[in-house]
A and B are shown apart, each in its own frame.
Chain A
């Protein structure tokens, strides 16, 4: 009897337990079916994968209302309540593409980002050092991006019709007053900072955040490395000098000390130079970098560098370009940058910074020019993640600067200028995520200049909208103010900020290591300083101008195996009526067309990376005083093909790079217009001299050895 009961109950339970319901349907994204999606009842084993037609079907013994989940890579998890007491055999499920971090909408108008940490970036730090033609200079590498104009005799960054002084460099949020080494007109400058210092670079060609002021055209935002991975000693032996660096890493702290010496004398004696050197460029520099992790999320950084460089050359004098005069330049520079950042809690994070610059420059020809600059900056910013949709950032900074210049002319007459400036500013900015696809940034900046006795209020706004999983459009508008260049202060302080208004529209697609972006912009200059040539002390803010153009960028790391290339093209139409211009005209630093083709190839067997860069810019105008009309001269079009190669080796367990580079391989005769005498000769003619590159080509050979903690399996095996 008992046994019968048992069997009966068993059968009953099993029939209840194993009553099967069919679940089937199809999973799609628009017209496309999804293959391999995981369709299952939540918290059960029951489910199936979709087949090649996006179809699924499975049986389940579950009863009642259950949650059907569908997951697939790159799509949002889909959940649907279904009633299993009836057949569910015609489900049509539409999945939504997921907006993950990689594809999230970000503000991109104007900004080129290079980072080693984020994925969705245009360049990374290795790209900067391996770009042929850049000769390891950050500014040289950025010159292959759209929006820049090549100005070979300067070496500085000129962005979208802006003068070099309109591009400002920021390191860890702090303005760098002297980012380039010191030089004389027509001798190109290089950046003072090694590209290896930085883990991330944001190069903004306009429309940037309200956090950055005193830059009318462009902001180059560099972020230094955090703690280095391990102890390291590195030695650099180069055709132009040598360097030594030592890094020590403790648990939460690191200290790096480095020094270098540069001497171009051996090089200039081997390779024919266009310059008549007496003492070719020499320099000595030293850096100390200290980093300390103050907590899980806090980081304190201290960076200081000191450098001294000097050269002497024979140069035609400015007055009549007849006599060769000896010119001596001496520069001493000290830069200190300290910063501290910390995430205070889920909502608040804090940044504070202190920076200091001392620069002493001395140029002696028949005249003597001594200039000193001392400047300091203190900054604090706070950001608050109010909720998922709103982030607010605000802060304030104060700049102190003292500029002292003593000019002794050929008649021993002394002109002295001493200007002290205190500039205070505050900014507020909010990022508002209106949806997964739409973000708006609204902000503004307020500045007060003591020397100009003037205020400015600069609104900034940008908007980005995702048009697809990998594409987006961005718009930006902003006002950008800058104190006029120091030279104007020689005569007067009776003027005001200069101003540029930016309008830009950008479209970008980024998919699987290919990037395409195009950006159109209009920049309106207002209240530029203007004076008459014969009365430079009467300065007014009555100048104006415009720059408009189109920048195109395409990079492809996918199509060619082991190959990587990018193409940049910039179209620029600009005129300005400023300084001593008699009329509105295209300035000397602006060329209509600029093109860069950069190619890099990795040869696996030879462990060698080879790069080729071709650069072109169309003629630039210059003023020929022998012509009555203004700015009628035209430079030759500029062409350059540069190559480089880096071989990676392991010499006695030490990672070693052998780097060789040559600029202007084909020896194209480039020139950058003419230099004219300041006074006419007996016939009333102004003598002229062609401005040429320092040498036809630049050859560079360097051996960089890293004596690191050798790769050691035995130590790796020890438990920590």
Chain B
């Protein structure tokens, strides 16, 4: 009898924890699906909210904080397009706060340093002529660190290529100079296998888009 009680309790506990970790993965999957489908602001906001809830509940996982930061940068970008500069700043600050949490949990994770580079890149958007000189070197430093930690991380190359793509030619940027990084990212994306289906696995579409823009742009002499 004693044995069977122990057995029942242990089954119960394991079912419960299994349900819990299942719930984590299921919720993350739901968030990622929502994020991937989201095009307009409100939908991205909904995806962000899911990741933010998981981030607040799961203090030991870096992925929810990572995705929260990524979604907030997307919200910042959409605010920028609407000319809402004050919101842009606020979203970037939120993204940085989320990433700081993730970096505390996994300071040596390449994806997080690539994301840090992306956040620094986003700081340039509101006033490139003034802010580029300060944040561009910081972004490059973060991308370099991401690559040093994992030379197979396609997002580190993709995001750096994208930064160079939009950096004016007189500062050594432009599509032609971005080609090397974008090609490298393309190569890595082709063979990339995500550690799980909730680990970062985005960027290939945008990378292909920027690569496709290189040839005609360079010919036009822009």
Given A512-B84, A720-B145, check contact A9 B53 (CB 8 Å). Answer: no
B54 and A718 form a contact (CB under 8 A): no
Q: How far is the CA of A2 from the CA of B75 in the complex (A)?
A: 55
Give Cα A655 to B89, complex, Å.
29
Closest to B27 in A: A45
Is B53 touching A116 in the complex (CB atoms < 8 A)?
no
- In the docked arrangement, what's the CA distance between A44 and B148, Å? 36
Which among B8, B144, B180 is the interface contact of A5 at CB below 8 angstroms?
A: B8
Q: Beyond A44-B57, A47-B53, A73-B87, is A35–B169 a contact (Cβ under 8 Å)?
A: no
Tell me the smallest distance from the CB of B197 to a CB of chain A, in Å. Answer: 18
Does A119 reach chain B (CB closer than 8 Å)? yes
Q: Which of A43, A100, A656, A710 is the one whose CB lies under 8 Å from B170? A: A656
Q: Do A36 and B8 form a contact, CB below 8 Å, given A73-B87, A719-B145?
A: no
- Contact, CB under 8 Å: A229 / B134: yes
Q: Which residues of B contact A46 (CB under 8 A)?
A: 53
Stretch touching chain B among A24-32, A84-92, A645-653? A645-653
Interfacial chain A residues near B8, Cβ < 8 Å: 5-6, 9
Q: B173 contacts the other chain (Cβ, under 8 Å)?
A: yes
The 0/1 profile, CB within 8 Å of B marked 1, for residues 496-533 of chain A is 00000000000000011100000000000000000000
B130 to chain A, nearest CB (A): 5
Instruction: Evaluate contact between A102 and B148: CB separation under 8 angstroms.
Output: no
A650 to B130 alpha-carbon distance, docked (Å): 18
Whether, in the assembled complex, A427 has its beta carbon less than 8 Å from a beta carbon of chain B, the answer is no
Q: Does A345 contact B (CB under 8 A)?
A: no
Contacts of A718 in B (CB 8 A): 144, 148
- Please tell me if the beta carbons of A73 and B46 are within 8 angstroms of each other in the complex: no
Query: At the interface, yes or no: B200 with Cβ under 8 Å from chain A?
Result: no
Q: Return A72 CB to nearest CB of chain B, in Å.
A: 9
Query: In the docked arrangement, what's the CA distance between A69 and B56, Å?
Result: 11
Give chain B interface residues in 125-180, CB to chain A under 8 Å: 126-127, 129-130, 133-134, 137, 140-141, 143-145, 147-148, 168-173, 177, 180
By a CB distance below 8 angstroms, the chain A residues around B173 are 711
Please tell me if the beta carbons of A655 and B170 are within 8 angstroms of each other in the complex: yes
* Residues on the B chain within 8 Å of A10, using CB: 12
In the complex with contacts A73-B87, A558-B83, A36-B168 CB distance below 8 A: no
- In the complex, how many angstroms separate the beta carbon of A680 from the nearest chain B beta carbon? 57
Q: Output the least CB separation between B50 and chain A (Å).
A: 8
- List B8-51 residues whose CB lies under 8 Å from chain A: 8, 11-12, 16, 23, 27, 41-42, 45-46, 48-49
Tier of interface size on chain A: 35 or more
Residues of chain B within 8 A (CB-CB) of A116 are: 130, 134
Min CB–CB distance B74 → chain A (angstroms): 13
- Taking CB atoms and an 8 Å cut-off, the chain A residues in 629-671 that contact chain B are 648-650, 653, 655-656
Which single member of A119, A655, A656, A716 contacts B144 (CB below 8 Å)? A716
Residues of A within 8 A of B86 (CB): 74, 102-103, 470, 511-512
A716 and B140 form a contact (CB under 8 A): yes
Q: Which residues of A contact B53 (CB under 8 A)?
A: 38, 40, 44-47
Cβ-defined contact, A719 with B170, below 8 A: no
Chain B residue at minimal CB-CB distance from A229: B137
Q: A36 to B56, Cβ gap below 8 A?
A: no
Q: Check if A52 is an interface residue, CB within 8 A of chain B.
A: yes
B73 to chain A, nearest CB (A): 13
Q: What is the distance, in angstroms, from B202's C-beta to the closest C-beta of chain A?
A: 21
Tell me, yes or no, whether A422 is within 8 Å of chain B by CB: no
Asked if A42 and B56 sit within 8 Å, CB to CB, the answer is yes
Known contacts A73-B87, A102-B89, A229-B134: A650-B172 contact under CB 8 Å: yes
B222 CB within 8 Å of chain A: yes
Tell whether B4 is near chain A: CB-to-CB under 8 Å: yes
Among candidates B85, B171, B180, residue contacting A650 with C-beta atoms closer than 8 Å = B171
Tell whether, in the assembled complex, residue A36 and residue B12 are in contact, meaning their CB atoms are under 8 Å apart. no
Q: Give complex CA distance A52, B43 in Å.
A: 11
Chain B residues positioned under 8 Å from A44 (CB to CB): 53, 57
Q: A126-B130, A558-B83, A716-B143 are in contact. Are A607 and B137 (CB under 8 A)?
A: no
How far is it, in angstroms, between the C-alpha of A48 and the C-alpha of B49 when the chains are bound?
A: 8
Could you tell me the distance in whole angstroms from the C-beta of A646 to the nearest C-beta in chain B?
Answer: 10
Candidate in B53, B54, B84, B137 with the most chain A CB atoms within 10 angstroms: B53
| Complex interface: chain A residues within 8 A of B168 (CB) | 607, 648
Interface string of B106-130 (1 = CB under 8 A from A): 0000000000000000000011011
Cα distance, A398 to B42, chains bound together (Å): 60
A-B contact count (CB 8 A): 122
Docked CA distance A607–B57 (Å): 48
Q: Is B186 an interface residue (CB 8 A)?
A: no
A715 nearest in chain B by CB position: B144
Chain B residues whose CB sits within 8 angstroms of the CB of A649 once the complex forms? 170
Q: What are the residues of chain A within 8 A of B42 when measuring CB–CB? A: 35-36, 49, 52
Please tell me if B100 contacts chain A, counting CB pairs below 8 Å: no
List of B residues within 8 angstroms of A47 by Cβ: 49, 53
A71 interface residue per 8 A CB criterion: yes
Residue in chain B with minimal CB distance to A127: B130
A38 touches B52 (CB 8 A): yes
A475-494 to B contact mask, C-beta < 8 Å, 1/0: 00000000000000000000
Asked whether, in the complex, the Cβ of A230 is within 8 Å of the Cβ of B137, the reply is yes
Given contacts A42-B56, A102-B89, A126-B129, contact A650 B169 (CB under 8 A): yes
**Cα separation A569 to B197 with both chains bound (whole Å):** 61
Contact B133 A717 (CB under 8 A): no
Is A45 a contact of B49 with CB atoms below 8 Å? no
B22 CB → nearest A CB, Å: 12
Measured between alpha carbons, how far is A545 from B26 in the docked complex, in Å? 77
Residues in A neighbouring B94, C-beta threshold 8 A: 73
B180 contacts which chain A residues (CB < 8 A)? 713
| Residue of B8, B12, B86, B94 with highest tally of chain A CB at under 10 A | B86
B12 adjacent to A13 (CB under 8 Å): yes
Judging by beta carbons under 8 Å apart, are B144 and A720 in contact?
yes
A718→B144 CA distance, assembly (Å): 7
Provide the residues of chain B in CB contact with A230, threshold 8 Å.
137
The CA of A52 and the CA of B40, in the complex, are separated in Å by: 13
- Nearest-Cβ distance from residue A127 to partner chain B, whole angstroms: 9
**Cβ contact within 8 Å between B87 and A71:** no
What is the CA–CA distance of A717 and B181 in the complex, to the nearest angstrom? 11
- Residues from chain A with a CB closer than 8 A to the CB of B144 are 716-720
**Identity of the chain A residue whose Cβ is nearest the Cβ of B169 in the assembled complex:** A650
A17 to B15, CA, bound (A): 12
- Are B90 and A74 in contact, with the CB atoms below 8 A? yes
Residues on the A chain within 8 Å of B90, using CB: 73-74, 100, 102
* A124: Cβ under 8 A from any B Cβ: yes
Roughly how many angstroms separate A125 CA and B129 CA in the complex, as a whole number?
11
Q: Tell me the nearest residue of chain B to A712, going by C-beta.
A: B172
Binding site for A on B (CB under 8 A): 4, 8, 11-12, 16, 23, 27, 41-42, 45-46, 48-49, 52-54, 56-57, 75, 83-87, 89-91, 93-94, 126-127, 129-130, 133-134, 137, 140-141, 143-145, 147-148, 168-173, 177, 180-181, 222
Extra pairs beyond A45-B57, A100-B90 (20, CB < 8 Å): A2-B4, A5-B8, A9-B8, A36-B49, A38-B48, A40-B53, A43-B57, A46-B53, A47-B49, A49-B42, A49-B45, A69-B56, A73-B75, A103-B86, A512-B84, A512-B86, A655-B170, A710-B172, A713-B180, A720-B141
A-B contact pairs, 6 of them (CB 8 A): A45-B53, A512-B83, A558-B85, A607-B170, A648-B170, A717-B147
Chain A residues proximal to chain B, CB less than 8 Å: 2, 5-6, 9-10, 13, 17, 35-36, 38, 40, 42-49, 52, 69, 71, 73-74, 100, 102-103, 116, 119, 124-126, 229-230, 470, 511-513, 558, 602, 605, 607, 648-650, 653, 655-656, 710-711, 713, 716-720
Which 10 A-B residue pairings sit nearest by Cβ, starting from the closest?
Answer: A711-B172, A719-B148, A36-B45, A38-B49, A650-B170, A648-B170, A49-B46, A49-B49, A40-B53, A512-B85
